[in-house]
Amino acid sequence: MRIILLGSPGVGKGTIAKLLSRENGCVQISTGDILRTAVKDVTKLGIKAKEYMDNGNLVPDHLIMEIMEERLMQSDCRKGFILDGFPRTIPQAQQLSALLEKMNINLDYVINLEAPMEIILERLTTRRTCCNSSCQEIYNIKNNPPAEGGVCKICGHKVVQRDDETPEAISERIKIYNQKTAPLIGYYAKEGLLRNVESLHASETVSAIKAFNISEV
Ligand code: AMP
C-alpha cells in the first residue's frame, strides 16, 4: 500500500494511518510526528520548526522536503507507506511526484478524509497524544481516554495536550489548511488519484480504504 492521507487537521489522519499500518505492516510517515520529535530533542531541525508549529503555521517546504527525501529512501518504505500530513502544499506535492518518479514508485491513491467541521473542532480540543516520541499514540478524553493516571495504554508514558492545540493555534491551522492544503484535493483529482472517504468511525474508514484496489507492496 502506498497512499497519501489528505484532510483537515483533526480529521483523523494519524488515527487511520496507525490502524492501517498495524494491520498491513506499511510504515506510517507523519511529518508532524517527525517534527515533534525534533522539537523535543532540540535538534537543528527542531529549533527551526518550533516557532512555526507553535503558531499553527506550516514549516517551510525546503525543510519538509529534506526530511521526506531522506525518509522515503529508508529500507522500511519498501513494504509500502502511508503518508500522514505530507504533502501539505502544492510545491511539496510537485516535489514528491518528482521524487517518486526518480525512485520508480507509483502511488496507489490519495485518500481525502472528510468530516463535518463541528466534529473536527470537537476532536481537536479533546485530543490527547502520548508524549513518547517513538509512540505518539492518539487518545480522546471523551471517547478513547488514556489509561488511569493519564498514561499511554501502549508504552505507559504521559498523555498530554499538544502545544499547537490551543484555540488560537487550532483556528490558525484550519485557516492555513484551507489556504494551502485544500488545493491539493483538486491537484490529485486531476491526476486521477483522489478518493473521498468519510472519517466518522475509524473502523469503517479503515474498511472503506482497504476496499479500494490497493497494491500489496
Ligand atoms: P500534524 O501533526 O500533521 O498536525 O502537524 C503538526 C504541525 O507540524 C503542523 O501544524 C505544521 O506546523 C507542521 N507540519 C507537519 N507536516 C507538515 C508539512 N508537510 N508541511 C509543513 N508543515 C508541516
| pLDDT per position as a tens digit, 60-80 | 999 999 999 999 999 999 999
| Beta carbon of 86 within 6 Å of any ligand 1 atom | yes
Ligand 1 pocket test, pick from 8, 16, 28, 35 with the greatest ligand atom count within 8 Å of Cβ, gives 35
Give residue 155's pLDDT band: very low, low, confident or very high (50, 70, 90): very high
Task: Name the domain count of the chain.
Answer: 1
pTM of the entire structure? 0.91
| Beta carbon of 91 within 6 Å of any ligand 1 atom | no
**pLDDT tens digit string along 78-131?**
999 999 999 999 999 999 999 999 999 999 999 999 999 999 999 999 999 999
Question: Distance from the CA of 32 to the center of ligand 1, in angstroms?
Answer: 5
Structural domain boundaries, residue 49: 2-115+181-215
Assess if residue 156 is contained within a domain. Answer: no
Whether 34 shows a pLDDT value over 80: the answer reads yes
Assess if residue 126 is contained within a domain. Answer: no
Assess if residue 159 is contained within a domain. Answer: no
Rounded CA gap, 107 and 82, in Å? Answer: 10
Question: Distance from the CA of 52 to the center of ligand 1, in angstroms?
Answer: 9
Q: How confident is the model at residue 55, as a pLDDT?
A: 87
Half-sphere exposure of 62 (CA within 13 A, CB side): 1
Assess if residue 92 is contained within a domain. Answer: yes
Residues annotated as catalytic (active site), given as ranges: 13, 88, 127, 162, 173
Candidates 51, 68, 89; CA nearest to 185 is 89
Assess if residue 173 is contained within a domain. Answer: no
Could you tell me where the DSSP H helices lie in 25-166?
31-40, 44-54, 61-72, 90-103, 117-126
Rounded CA gap, 2 and 26, in Å? Answer: 8
Rounded CA gap, 8 and 175, in Å? Answer: 10
| Beta carbon of 32 within 6 Å of any ligand 1 atom | yes
Assess if residue 152 is contained within a domain. Answer: no
| Beta carbon of 88 within 6 Å of any ligand 1 atom | yes
Whether 203 shows a pLDDT value over 90: the answer reads yes
Assess if residue 160 is contained within a domain. Answer: no
CATH of the domain at 51: 3.40.50.300
In whole numbers, what is the pLDDT of the chain averaged over residues? 95
| Beta carbon of 80 within 6 Å of any ligand 1 atom | no
Q: How confident is the model at residue 44, as a pLDDT?
A: 96
Residue the block writes with cell 478513547: 144
Assess if residue 19 is contained within a domain. Answer: yes
